[in-house]
Structure 1
């Protein structure tokens, strides 16, 4: 997902490689100004508000937003005395976050022993995403992690025939599925419900969400657990896949023009889970 997650160029499982005469270091960290106003709410109080956030991309992790100390409320951070060590960025000092009579321990951190080449993060603080009530870009809530500017989604029409089977049973057959291309993932094929035998889909609990597509519901198909999913009310930017269904080719048989689909190694989705305090109305 994006620059450093899933199979992005800085991720451990990247599918590409840099064309350089000598091998690059095993780990590459990338920091840049986010160039978006980002705010943090805790206990219904805005404790950080900045247009000077630095976004850190670390291999195998979601991007993390670091706020200048000057843009964080003076009383929001309480030193905990806890110091750990980051493998690349040195000593890490931890803080409790406090506002309006509520305190959460180890909810923020700051790199206090940075090497010279990482000085751009000096004096910056990051907040644990799920420990906060919400993060907002301007007035819109951002789910899961800071938005990755290198993440892209394209949705295309296709006339190829997609068929889904479980054993000898046809679950779906469509001559007009949509294909969704998303940074760091294999293409995903979405099928209109009119082309699906919905009697074979059994809704199950345990929603997850995508910061770019919205809340995701899942279905079991026979003994295949969570073998299909849908974004019933997909975000406006990707509403073409709203309430369509996609199928996991490693759990049921999915073919495209008669050719079985298989995910490449490393392209399984790593679910993020539900954001703290998230409900359907707020996510939509």
Structure 2
């Protein structure tokens, strides 16, 4: 979650409210200087290297970085005849990105007739995230989308009593879970393996990728599909939850201090695949360099 994604303040399903007398417009776009050096690579070529990116927060989308033309390598952009219409920012022209033998069609775009209030993006070009082979801040690879300063994760230890049941069977019981607070989401509770009856967990096919936590593996519990998950080797920033198990309260019964938990509205996560050329070591360990 960030400023305009999931339940952030500018998202369509925001959980909070602005304390103002009149309602805000249905859609608010917010742009700001990124203030970080950001680079993009296609094949062996750095196609962009910028300390002057502008980050656009658009309702319901991950943030997108736009770059001034002077920070884009010469001759890598070839304008195509393809144009679209952005509902807020007007006509949009698309480019093929070419670097040596590598070519990606419709891999970059530019808004060509911006309204006056959006001139901060004038002339700037955005690159389709999945079209490039890697994005970097300084020398470290970043994945998923441009860094969102409004996304935060905090992990706290607690002595609250958490019990997970599949019918009459106790699947997990702990007085030392960890609670993970992630911007825009309800708390998620992670249970130490020692407090889980692992014979109740059946590994499920498929993994998902989180740009902040790493690769998640899933488990079925009885007839409840993908009712639990674990970041077996969580990234450094959330290392405390590595190997612990969290349970989906809409799929399996989860009680916290005797109160049954439920999935809050708007908490569903859109599955996020790993970036192009993100090898298993990078995805599993958060080594982005």
Give the TM-score range, shorter chain: over 0.9
- The 2-side partners of 1:151 and 1:81 are apart by 37
Which residue is 1:225 aligned to? Answer: 225
Secondary structure in 2 matching 1:123: coil
Which deviations, in whole Å up to 9, do the C-alpha atoms of 1:226-256 show, x marking residues without a partner?
1111111111111111111111111111110
Matches within 5 A, 1:245-264: 245-264=245-264
TM-score, normalised on structure 2? 0.96
Which residue is 1:100 aligned to? Answer: 100
- The 1-side partners of 2:105 and 2:149 are apart by 30
Distance 1:276 1:54, change over 3 A: same
Unpaired segments of 5 or more residues in structure 1? none
Deviation at 1:279, TM superposition (A): 2.5
Secondary structure in 1 matching 2:238: helix
- The 2-side partners of 1:80 and 1:179 are apart by 49
Residues 215 and 280 in structure 1, CA contact (< 8 A), matched pair in contact too: no
- The 2-side partners of 1:196 and 1:211 are apart by 27
Which residue is 2:14 aligned to? Answer: 14
Which deviations, in whole Å up to 9, do the C-alpha atoms of 1:208-234 show, x marking residues without a partner?
221111121111222222111111111
Which residue is 2:216 aligned to? Answer: 216
Which deviations, in whole Å up to 9, do the C-alpha atoms of 1:4-38 show, x marking residues without a partner?
11000000000111111111111000000011111
- The 2-side partners of 1:269 and 1:102 are apart by 33
Secondary structure in 2 matching 1:49: strand
Which deviations, in whole Å up to 9, do the C-alpha atoms of 1:60-100 show, x marking residues without a partner?
00000111111111111111111100000001100111111
Residues 64 and 145 in structure 1, CA contact (< 8 A), matched pair in contact too: yes
TM-score, normalised on structure 1? 0.97
> What number of residue pairs does the alignment pair up?
284
Q: Is it true that 1:167 corresponds to 2:152 in the alignment?
A: no
Q: Which 4+ stretches in 1 moved above 4 angstroms?
A: none
Which deviations, in whole Å up to 9, do the C-alpha atoms of 1:131-163 show, x marking residues without a partner?
111111111111111111011111111111111
Which residue is 1:48 aligned to? Answer: 48
- The 2-side partners of 1:226 and 1:141 are apart by 30
Q: CA RMSD in A?
A: 1.1
- The 2-side partners of 1:170 and 1:277 are apart by 41
Unpaired segments of 5 or more residues in structure 2? none
Secondary structure in 2 matching 1:238: helix
Which residue is 1:62 aligned to? Answer: 62
Deviation at 1:276, TM superposition (A): 2.1
Secondary structure in 2 matching 1:113: coil
